[in-house]
Amino acid sequence: MKDVTPNDTHNFAVVGHSGDGKTSLGEAILHSAGATAETGSVTAGTSVLNHVPEEQERHTTITSAIFGFDAGGKHFTLVDTPGDSNFLADGQIALQALDGAVLAVSGVDGAKVGTDRMFRFCRERDIALIAFVNGLDRERADLDRTVASLVEIGTNPAVVTLPIGLGPSLEGVVDLLEMKAYRAGKAGDIPEELAEAAASAREKLIESVAECDDDLLEKYLEEGELSPEEIATGLVAGTRGAKLLPVFAGAALPEIGAERLLWGIANLLPSAADRPPFLDAEGEAVASDPAAPFSALVLKTVIDRYAGVLSVFRIVSGTLSPDTPVLDVTSDNRERFSKLFLIRGAEHVDVPAAGPGDVVAVAKLKSVRTGHALSAEKGGPRLAPIAIPQGVISYAIQAKSKGDEDKVFASLGRLVEEDPTLQLGRDPATGEFLLTGRGELHVRTTVHKLQRMFGVEVELKTPKVPYRETIKKKAENVEGKLKKQTGGKGMFGVCYLTVEPLPRGSGIEFVDEIVGGAIPRNLIPAVQKGVMESCEAGPLAGYPVVDVRVRCIDGKHHAVDSNEMAFKLAGSFGFKTAIERAKATLLEPVMDVHVSVPDQYVGDVMGDLSSRRGRVGSGEAQGSSQVIEAQVPMSEMLEYASTLTSITAGQGEFHMEFSHYDEAPAQVREKVVAAAATAKTEES
């Protein structure tokens, strides 16, 4: 890694829809820059970016790959991100610590839902973008159609390079800034048959640049031309100001257009010194100054079989060297860095120091996790941590072998540490351990990794739905009685309870209305305890009882035989009887569901949600996609991920969160009660 200033330090991600050739494009960039000896192949398993066994098996990216390299006197860090919605969040986390991105777009199919999704994500976070239209060497490739699709998702595309030929005849690109043809990385004259098209495309490029700046527009309208310097300056300003999207053309596999794309990365996307400043927790800008106190953001955690756990971070300010004491601002723990590593795919190279914009790694930090902010031990800026997307689908998980429980959960803990979009926890309502991820494939891939890396196997099951029970009417003056007097000291306690329904979300309310000492004051808490313990398992299917007010209105006691246990049991008996008289019913959890799908699938998705007893609201347009909002019972959403994938050919995504409990329909209640009765019979 060269010792360069922040002005010559660039880090960027390759983003876009799954299957549009992001990894192949990354390989072409690396080879074009001289960072690799040959162009790696995803299908042949020689890619330096897809080096995880699960990626090589599926021929798709499931985790962000990082590769640092030097070219042309500058230092670059390339981050190849997943496009599949199951793994997309991994790239979105990394993007928040980077300075720019290359949006890979299919030259055959144009912009898709994943293209739109990542474009909007970058724009929302002020991440500068350039685009590369990939696959122009394929049949049916069409640059104009692809550019039109970029307009449809809300971009302002400005074509910078034109293809020389299309499909199998693609042989190079024309640079509209230099008005030179590039074949095999070498500049030459524009083919005569393309001269007119190139001149016309250049005029459109100049118009797009001029429209981004009032002074340039005025000069262009007056003189009809801009100088090369003015065009370049305007293009840079338009790119970094999010006013236009420079579009480069080519094909990754034959490495056509990659050299011009690398020029665009180095000259149009901002360096570490040029990007909008990172903000600290108080909203103050943190300058990319090598002499300033150290600060950094952790963009990834990697479990390495040799180095252990690697924390990969982007340095925001200051200069870092080995054996430096630092503060984990997020966990408020102190750490000491040992060796610094430059990540080059699966290879790790020792480096003596790193500064603003560099992406490096350190092994075996105790408290540091993905998303955490790091700072100098004394006086360093406290950056705001990176936002971590949460999981959307849960599976109940258990070890296949009973003796492996401890090993399973310890190993899963390490995978959760590596991938923070996974969550592992226990549902207190059902007692099950749940593994939550961004999609079914995400969870199942995690299980595969668990077996490969740690040699343990688990079973995945659809999780239980945390139903609740409540009442529909009031039951008054219900007796709860315990009388046991068979010689010697007995047990005696009587309480009279009234139960009535409460609004949803109210829980259980116990009201002491005893007067005149019908129950001694010191024994009333025993009645309450009996009631509360009985609430843990309702009469219908054994689910917790909620949203009930219990009024203890009267009682009887015996001077000798009454005690806490007697009144606890009396309270329990009385409550159970009262609940049955008050017409017990079942409540089911209802989720707020947000589904993002391409326009052509909106009708099918809304129909499917309605068939799941969903209440579907109005959709909201976001580029070429629609966001559908609905409220759907949780029991209907447990297998929704695979259904949505089937309906939308993998182009839809969703997330959901708990909204409220609602009364379950009679057919659902009967099914749940019957299942509980069967389970109880089998246990006995």
Instruction: State the average pLDDT over residues 214-242.
Output: 88
The CA-based dihedral angle spanning residues 329, 333, 337, 343, taken in that order and rounded to the nearest 10 degrees: -50
376's tokens:
């100098």
Selection from 353, 316, 290 nearest residue 5 by Cα:
290
Amino acid occupying residue 428 = P
pLDDT category, 263, cuts 50, 70, 90?
very high
Q: What does the mean pLDDT of the chain come to?
A: 91
Identify the helix (H) or strand (E) that includes residue 26.
helix 22-32
pLDDT for res 617: 86
Least confident range from 67-71, 128-132, 444-448, 470-474: namely 444-448
pLDDT for res 246: 98
Domain ranges, ordered by start, for the chain:
6-190+243-267, 278-376, 393-461, 469-582, 587-668
Instruction: Judge whether residue 619 has pLDDT over 80.
Output: no
**E strands within 329-440?**
333-336, 340-344, 347-351, 359-363, 373-376, 393-399, 423-426, 433-437
Q: Any residues with CB less than 8 A from the CB of 283 and at least 6 apart, and which?
A: none
pLDDT for res 432: 81
Homologous superfamily of 393-461: Elongation Factor G (Translational Gtpase), domain 3 (3.30.70.870)
pLDDT for res 540: 93
Instruction: Judge whether residue 625 has pLDDT over 80.
Output: no
pLDDT category, 324, cuts 50, 70, 90?
confident
**Per-residue pLDDT reduced to its tens digit, 170-210:** 999 999 999 999 998 899 999 999 999 999 999 999 999 99
Instruction: Judge whether residue 308 has pLDDT over 90.
Output: no
**Per-residue pLDDT reduced to its tens digit, 412-427:** 888 988 899 998 888 7
pTM of the predicted protein model: 0.78
pLDDT for res 377: 87
Residue that wins the pLDDT comparison between 405 and 203: 203
Instruction: State the average pLDDT over residues 121-149.
Output: 95
Chain-centre distance of CA 113, in angstroms? 16
Asked if 278-376 and 587-668 have one fold, the answer is no
**Per-residue pLDDT reduced to its tens digit, 576-609:** 999 999 999 999 999 988 888 888 899 999 999 9
pLDDT for res 650: 74
Instruction: State the average pLDDT over residues 305-325.
Output: 89
Phi then psi for 460, rounded to 5 degrees?
Answer: -105, 135
pLDDT for res 587: 95
pLDDT category, 487, cuts 50, 70, 90?
low
Residue that wins the pLDDT comparison between 575 and 59: 575
**Per-residue pLDDT reduced to its tens digit, 419-457:** 999 988 887 667 788 888 887 788 889 999 998 888 888
Q: What CATH number has the domain spanning 6-190+243-267?
A: 3.40.50.300
Instruction: Judge whether residue 488 has pLDDT over 80.
Output: no
**Per-residue pLDDT reduced to its tens digit, 40-72:** 898 888 999 988 888 888 788 889 999 999 999
Amino acid occupying residue 180 = K
Cα 25 from Cα 133, distance rounded (Å): 10
pLDDT for res 631: 95
- Any alpha helices (H) in 224-292, and if so which ranges? 228-240, 258-267
Instruction: Judge whether residue 77 has pLDDT over 70.
Output: yes
**Per-residue pLDDT reduced to its tens digit, 19-42:** 899 999 999 999 999 999 999 898
**Per-residue pLDDT reduced to its tens digit, 524-569:** 999 999 999 999 999 999 889 999 999 999 999 998 899 999 999 9
Instruction: Judge whether residue 264 has pLDDT over 60.
Output: yes
How many helices, marked H, and strands, marked E, lie in the chain? 16, 35
Q: Has domain 587-668 been given CATH number 3.50.50.60?
A: no
Residue that wins the pLDDT comparison between 129 and 120: 129
pLDDT for res 461: 86
Cα 148 from Cα 157, distance rounded (Å): 9
Q: What percent of the chain has pLDDT over 90?
A: 64
Q: Has domain 469-582 been given CATH number 3.30.230.10?
A: yes
- For the packed helices 640-648 and 440-454, what is the interaxial angle rounded to 10 degrees? 120
Residue that wins the pLDDT comparison between 94 and 619: 94
Q: What CATH number has the domain spanning 278-376?
A: 2.40.30.10
Q: What percent of the chain has pLDDT over 70?
A: 98
pLDDT for res 567: 97
